[in-house]
Amino acid sequence: MTRVLVIDDEPSILRALRINLTARNYEVSTASDGTSGLAAVSRERPDAVILDLGLPDMDGTEVIHGVRGWSTTPIIVLSVWGAEHQKVAALDAGADDYVTKPFGMDELLARLRAAVRRAAPAAPDEPVVTTPGFTVDLAAKRVVRDGADVRLTPTEWQLLEILVRNRGRLITQKQLLQDVWGPAYGSESNYLRVYVAQLRRKLEPEPSRPRYLLTEPGMGYRFQA
Amino acid sequence: MTRVLVIDDEPSILRALRINLTARNYEVSTASDGTSGLAAVSRERPDAVILDLGLPDMDGTEVIHGVRGWSTTPIIVLSVWGAEHQKVAALDAGADDYVTKPFGMDELLARLRAAVRRAAPAAPDEPVVTTPGFTVDLAAKRVVRDGADVRLTPTEWQLLEILVRNRGRLITQKQLLQDVWGPAYGSESNYLRVYVAQLRRKLEPEPSRPRYLLTEPGMGYRFQA
DNA sequence: GCCAATCTTGACGTTTTCCTAACGCCCAGC
DNA sequence: GCTGGGCGTTAGGAAAACGTCAAGATTGGC
């Protein structure tokens, strides 16, 4: 299910969006100011963000920048009619699209679908990666080894997913930490050591001599297919 | 965040641009002459360059040529009013746009945004360099030789990356030392001898008679493709 | 409110990398 | 033929990074 975060300070809009989006089978969460909005993006990793530019605590473009610093989640901006400079600033900051208030729900939904669709092609190719030792199904979020499912915790899965999606490529420690734990992390490489070790224990034929989850000392990790 | 390098010898302009760009959430770095400007482009790989044509140490078009030899980063040129021939020469040399001093900050920002946007989709900067002996994949941070991965330490990789990104060009010892070890270094050429030797041992067919990692006695090193 | 699963955190032994010094070679200049 | 500077090569101890384990702290479901 597609998860959408709505950041808006007007309860009526929040309510209308929640009802309409839920009815169309989106999973909706909300925030009513920029600070909690940024926290929510970091915490929930929504598939899309709907952001009202007129927030009480900070400028909308600041929120966009805060998100764009580490994530490419599509952002659709709501702005009042006539605030052209604001719209331009928001798009420059990295927003994907905008809708002028008052807006038709159909238009918003269309733009939301488009934005999510545009962001999707991250997974067009090979949603299943196979090695001699195990198989990773990215779409189904499943790992099979010796015919049996391997049970992974959420954090283990996120880590594995990033490495597998970038198979062959070296991913730096900082990037892994930010993608899995959020933008506030970047130097806690001990987390990585613990979770990589757990993945190796569950996936590698010889966990102490890894064949697929390789360490590049001082730089990061690499998934070798 | 978009990273912009400003090359200008007038402190007041440098200051004004830094303030305005930083406020718009660009990441700004500066250089005050052509030599250090070229070094900074190589080192920082900015997303755009703002270049004043009137530099103390070299002609602006030389700087453009120096950059265009290996990079397609957008370059916006600042020139005084009336210097038409200079502007033409700069555009011929590969500049993307120009702004005449004195300039309005809004205009410069607009042109900067346009240049960055234009560059964005069409800049898959050949991340893989091949020689008869081995292959360097800059994006994946990977070196393959005879079908097998070559293992490089972080320092070895940094050194190789700089030389490969500037392939064909002579890089001075001082620049290599500063780029890899930091600005406090510049005369420790023995470091370079040790690490270049290690790279040659891992990459060259005949390490004692290098074909790709060439020494320029008294000057520096060069990667020959 | 309790329990199980998961996530953090710290400690310790091992591996890898980095820095540094020493030595030999080559070549130019005297 | 001696001398000195720049370069290549090697090796070993110091420092940093890594793997591993296990004990708290948190979280979420019942």
CA–CA dist B117, A51 (Å, integer): 23
A4 vs A208: CA distance, rounded Å: 41
As given in the structure block, the two tokens for residue B205 are 């067919």
pLDDT at B122: 43
Mind listing the pLDDT tens digit for each residue in A179-213?
899 888 888 999 999 999 999 999 999 999 999 99
Task: Measure B48 CA to C29 C1' (Å).
Answer: 49
From chain A, pick out residues whose CB is under 8 angstroms from the CB of B153: 217-218
List per-residue pLDDT tens for chain B, 225 residues long: 889 999 999 988 899 999 988 888 888 999 989 888 888 887 788 899 999 988 888 888 888 888 886 677 888 888 877 666 676 677 777 777 777 777 778 778 877 887 787 666 543 456 788 898 899 999 899 999 988 999 999 999 999 999 998 887 788 888 899 889 988 898 899 999 999 999 999 999 999 999 999 998 888 898 987
Domain boundaries, chain A: 3-119, 128-223
| Architecture in CATH for domain A128-223 | Orthogonal Bundle (1.10)
Which of A69, A93, A169 has the CB atom closest to B140's CB atom?
A169
| CA atoms A6, A7, A8, A9: torsion sign | positive
Quickly list DSSP for B116-166.
Answer: HHHHTTT-----EEE-SS-EEETTTTEEEETTEEE---HHHHHHHHHHHHT
Q: Are the beta carbons of B157 and A93 separated by less than 8 Å?
A: no
B123-164 tens-digit pLDDT:
345 678 889 889 999 989 999 998 899 999 999 999 999 999
DSSP secondary structure code for residue A122 in this structure: G
Q: What are phi and psi of B221, to 5 degrees?
A: -130, 165
- Give the pLDDT of residue B117: 73
Footprint of strand D on the protein (CB under 7 A): A 173, 189-190, 192-194, 196-197, 200, 207-208, 210, 215-220; B 173, 189-190, 193-194, 196-198, 200-201, 207-208, 210, 215, 217-219
Which class would CATH give B3-119?
alpha beta
Evaluate the omega torsion of the peptide bond into residue B102 and state whether it is cis, within 30 degrees of 0: yes
**pLDDT of A222:** 96
Pick from B90, B106, B94: nearest CA to B16 = B106
**Residue A109 pLDDT:** 86
Low-confidence ranges of chain A (pLDDT < 70): 84, 120-126
Residue A143 and residue B186: Cα distance in Å, rounded? 50
Residues of chain A neighbouring B141 (CB-CB closer than 8 A): 169-170, 216, 219
Q: Do domains A3-119 and A128-223 have the same CATH topology?
A: no
Chain B partners within 8 Å of A216 (Cβ): 141
Residue B68 to residue A30: CA distance in whole angstroms:
48
Q: What is the pLDDT of residue B84?
A: 62
3-class SS at A50? strand
